[in-house]
Amino acid sequence: MGRRLEAVAGLTVDPSPGSNQPVGASGGPLLMGVVNVTPDSFSDGGRFLDPDAAAEHGARLAADGAAILDIGGESTRPGAQPVTAEEEIERAVPVVERLAGATPARLSIDTMKLDVARAALAAGAGVVNDVSAFRGDPEMAGLVASSAADCCLMHMRGEPRTMQEDPRYDDVVSEVASFLEERMRFALAEGVPEERIWLDPGIGFGKTVEHNLALLRRLGEIVAIGRPVVIGASRKSFLGAVTEREVHDRLPGTIAANVMALERGAAIFRVHDVAEVRDALRVTAATVGRPPWTTPDS
């Protein structure tokens, strides 16, 4: 578990809808397009509450080059209020149903709740993106293990409602790495195969601006754990603090953060602006010697 994967930044996903093939190590960096089906997400809350509109948005992101579509029915922005599993299912699962088989992109469900993940997997999702890293509902690990889904385990201090209340660390990078290693051990003990685990340092989740910058600067220490690293810096508030830009004017900062993350070994990039970030990473990959870009139809 502590070994460095030689090609961890070069990933491909089986493009067939509903595929249960794990991420491999033979292609290029992957884009995960954000499909928020929420009224209160920090960037696009309320824009895609209608399932048809959300599915159309997801299809556009896939056409722009997203190999994965991350569909979420509950906002995890700072201060966000929780919703019931029933409401989350009502928002997200119809979108999964519409996209399953309609796009070559792999479908991911962004949830901390067991019932939501179960319903989404049954509807055609193949990835569980759990920002609580299986702490919100420990039985999630068993569901992932039995379903042959991939999973993303993310670091978060506290919960969305409280995570930005004076977050402090002695060494944020070391503490995040230790947390991710511990959660990976838990997942393995529950039967999740190592090759199906991705790790996310949780940019913006219980971190100050300096914490986020340190994680990007020393991302190689997270990559050294040996699993594909997911970066979710898109439009985040730390970019606004650095650039003095409002949320919809943060694309240049988003591109810069993802380019640096790719150079340091990140493998999967969760973004709102797929086409623009795709081009930036494609140039970066060609320049720094990463494997050639791989899209679902290549």
Catalytic residues: 236, 270
Q: Which helix (H) or strand (E) holds 71?
A: strand 68-72
Burial of 46 (0-12, 13-18, 19+ CB in 10 A): exposed
Q: For residues 30 and 208, give the distance between their C-alpha atoms in angstroms, rounded to a whole number.
A: 27
Q: For residues 265 and 290, give the distance between their C-alpha atoms in angstroms, rounded to a whole number.
A: 9
Amino acid at 85: A
Q: Helix, strand, or coil here: 79?
A: coil
One-character DSSP codes across 242-265: HH---GGG-HHHHHHHHHHHHHTT
Q: For residues 263 and 243, give the distance between their C-alpha atoms in angstroms, rounded to a whole number.
A: 21
